[in-house]
Structure 1
Amino acid sequence: MNSDKKTFDFLIAGVPYKLKTSHDDATVDELVQFVNSKMNQALSVTKNGSYQNAAVLTAMNLAEELILLKRKAHRELEKLEEKALRISLELENSKNNSNKVLNN
């Protein structure tokens, strides 16, 4: 990511926005497409077609995805930490056993 900020003009659900960011064009394009996709999904299930309701539903859906991904990442990190600890203990035990054999 660059430290130089650039202004992007884009549409979300047909509404124009400006964003000043140091992300590259491809990243901003991916973000806009992602949010547009989520917004269109929300608009399709919003009974009155309200952009405000769709925006809140989109935010809730994105928050849910983020929280579930964070939980999954945390569980995976815990598994890796446990595995690293087991390997470390096995190495320590192996080292201690080797030293005992050498000292006898």
Structure 2
Amino acid sequence: MTSDKKTFNFLIAGVPYKLKTSHDDATVQELVEFVNSKMNHALSLTKNGSFQNAAVLTAMNLAEELILLKRKAHRELEKLEERAVQLSVDLENSKNNKVLNN
């Protein structure tokens, strides 16, 4: 990400938006395509085709993905921390055994 901000014009579900960001073009394009895909999917699921209902459904789906990913990352971090502690204990025990055997 660069420090210079640039303005991007894009459409989400056919609605025009402007975004000022320091992200590069490729990142903004990826974000727009991702949100557009989620929004179009949500629009197809809403019975009355309400943009507002689709936006809320999209937000809920994205929040669900984010929360589940954060939980998974937290579990993985805990596993890594447990493994690091165990390796530290094993290393310390190994040092102590060498001292006792000499």
**TM-score bracket for the superposition, by shorter chain length:** over 0.9
How far is 1:16 from its partner? 0.3
- 1:10 paired residue number: 10
Determine what percentage of the aligned residue pairs are the same residue.
Answer: 82
How far does residue 99 in structure 1 lie from its aligned partner after superposition?
Answer: 1.2
Determine the C-alpha separation between the residues in 1 that align with 2:88 and 2:40: 50
The amino acid of 1:47's aligned partner reads: K
Q: 1:29 aligns to what?
A: 29
Report the Cα distance in structure 2 between the residues aligned to 1:55 and 1:71, rounded to whole angstroms.
Answer: 24
1:48 corresponds to? 48
Structure 1 unmatched runs, 5+: none
- TM superposition score normalised by structure 2: 0.99
What's the CA shift string for 1:57-98, capped at 9, x where partnerless?
A: 000000000000000000000000001110010000001111
Give the root-mean-square deviation of aligned CA atoms: 0.5
Give, as a single letter, the amino acid of the residue that structure 2 aligns with 1:79: K
Give SS of 1:2's match. coil
What runs of 5+ residues in structure 2 fail to find an aligned partner?
Answer: none
Instruction: Give CA deviations for 1:14-71 in whole Å, capped at 9, x if unaligned.
Output: 0000000000000000000000000011000000000000000000000000000000
- Helix, strand or coil: the match of 1:20? strand
Aligned counterparts of 1:17 and 1:93: Cα–Cα separation in 2: 61
Aligned pair count reads 102
Shift of 1:11: 0.2
Secondary structure of residue in 1 paired with 2:17: strand
Q: Could you tell me the TM-score, scaled by structure 1's length?
A: 0.97
- Structure 2 partner of 1:96: 96
